Structures are given as C-alpha cells and as structure tokens.
Chain A
Amino acid sequence: MEVNSDEDLMEQICQQRHEAFTVLVRRHTDKYYSLAYRVLGDRGDAEDVVQEAFLRIWRKSGMWNRRKMTKFTTWFYRITLNLALDYKKKRKPILVDNLLEIPTENPDRIEILKNLEQQRQLEKAIRLLPERQQTALNLCFYEELSNKEAAMIMGISLKALQSLLMRGKSALKKELKLEGAL
C-alpha cells in the first residue's frame, strides 16, 4: 500500500477504501500540521484544522478530480491553507507563541537562549506581516515549495507571488533590525 502514489490513494478513497485514507493520513499529517501551525500559531487549532481537512477528503472525496489537479499535495495544501485562514479569521489573534521551549538538559544554554530569542523575534515579525505575505513566505521557505506551486496554491500569478515574497522579506528585515535580532 505504501508504494502507491497519493493520487492513486485518492482514487481509492473515492471508492471509500479506508485503508487508503489511513495511509494518506500517516504519510502527510506532519507536513500539513506544520503549515496549519505556521498560519495559526497554536497547536490545538492547527490539529483541529488538519483533522477537518483530512475528514473533508474522506467524507467528500468527490471533490477530488484527478484530471483537474495533477498533484494531490498541491490540492491538499490549498484545502488546508483555506481552512486555516478561515479559522484564523473566526478566532481571536494569538500573540504569544508557545513553540519556544528551552531544553534544560543542554549545556550550551546561552547559545540556545540567543537562538530562541532570535526565533521569537522572527515569529513576532512574521505575524506582523500582511496575511498574503505570511502565506507566501510559509509556503516557499518552510514548506519548501517551488514558486510556481506556491502561486498555484494561493491562486495568484507567479509575478504576484514573487512580489509578495520580496515585500515580505524586506518587511521582515526591517522589523528584525528594529528588534535588534541582528
């Protein structure tokens, strides 16, 4: 079963074969959780969004059209991203990130603390960006998608995506400089 492509698994899911769904969930949960977390900044919310996204493909598998969208991952990125953005609009903004925990057993604590502070500033700076710039940076930097794929997921042109990335990076640099991260 594991050697099946995502698209083959989706075809089986359309026939309500639950084993295929299980394989797909085990294969991709981490990746899509990471995206949802980047958008929402809260573990619980990110988990809820990923669960909802997977349940949608199981309960409404008719949404999948192999001829329309060639890659499952691109299609599912779009579903997860839209759900996460909807979720974000509905709930109150989260200002504190709970991701940054200090591992106490590591002897190089000063270096770790310095890195963590830098990361905290980065998280804060990213959250200050407009939503579309955040999404573009998340997809291209952290999900390591190609610009073309990211543009397809966001439903914008390649040029528009490049512009978002450029503006996002420039705003981040400015913000990090103000915070004294560098």
Chain B
Amino acid sequence: MTDQELENIMKNRREPEVSPWLTDRIINASLTPASKNELSVWSLLFSTKLTVVAVCLMLLGLVAGYILDNQQEELMFTQSKDVTWSDYFAYNGRIYE
C-alpha cells in the first residue's frame, strides 16, 4: 500500500456529527455559577453548621433538664409540710458530698 492509497482511505474517514444542542449546553453550563466542587464545599459547610446547631441544642437540653430536675426536687422539699429546712439542707449536703 502506498502513502497515497492510505491517505485516500483516511480522507474518507467520516466526520463525527455534533449534537445540535451541544453549543447551547456549554453556554448554559457557563451561566451556572457553582461548579461541582464549590457545591460540595457548600454542602459540607451546611452540614457542619447543622451538626454544630444539633450539638448546641443537645447541650441546651441537658442543662435545661438538669435545672428543671433540681427545681422539681427543691419544690418537693419546700412544698412538703413534713419536711423541715434542716432536712432539706442535710439532703443537699449529702448530694454535694
């Protein structure tokens, strides 16, 4: 086979047809500001924020629960007629020991 014969075959190689919507697809994609990477960073930030909020809420719940529990205990002592203040302080002292 000569170079000329090879070139003749190669010239016949069919050109691939471009999708008519490819240019529009590229132009539209360029108008979208965030790339995949940027999106993933944002989603990571968002999920981090959510985690922080969730942890804060949990801590708040624990503190509130502790306070309410203490108040309830205090009410139990103060509202009961049979319990004296010395009982109350003795009870508290036992807790703090």
Interface positions of A (Cβ within 8 A of B) = 18, 21-22, 25-26, 29-30, 33-34, 37-38, 43, 46-47, 50-51, 54-55, 58-59, 99-100, 115, 118-119, 122-123, 137, 141-142, 169, 172-173, 176-177, 181-182
- Chain B interface residue count, CB cutoff 8 Å, equals 23
Q: Is the CB of B26 within 8 A of A25?
A: yes
Given A33-B18, A47-B19: A176 touches B30 (CB 8 Å cut-off): no
Cα distance A69–B45 when bound, in Å? 39
Q: Which residues of B contact A141 (CB under 8 A)?
A: 7, 10
Q: Chain A: interface secondary structure?
A: helix
Interface positions of B (Cβ within 8 A of A) = 1, 3, 5-7, 9-10, 12-16, 18-19, 22-23, 25-27, 29-31, 35
Q: Which residues of A contact B25 (CB under 8 A)?
A: 47, 51
CB pairs A–B below 8 angstroms (29 shown): A22-B27, A25-B26, A25-B27, A29-B23, A33-B22, A34-B15, A34-B16, A43-B16, A43-B19, A47-B22, A50-B26, A51-B22, A51-B26, A54-B26, A55-B29, A55-B35, A59-B30, A99-B14, A99-B16, A118-B9, A119-B9, A119-B12, A122-B13, A123-B13, A142-B10, A172-B6, A177-B1, A181-B9, A182-B9
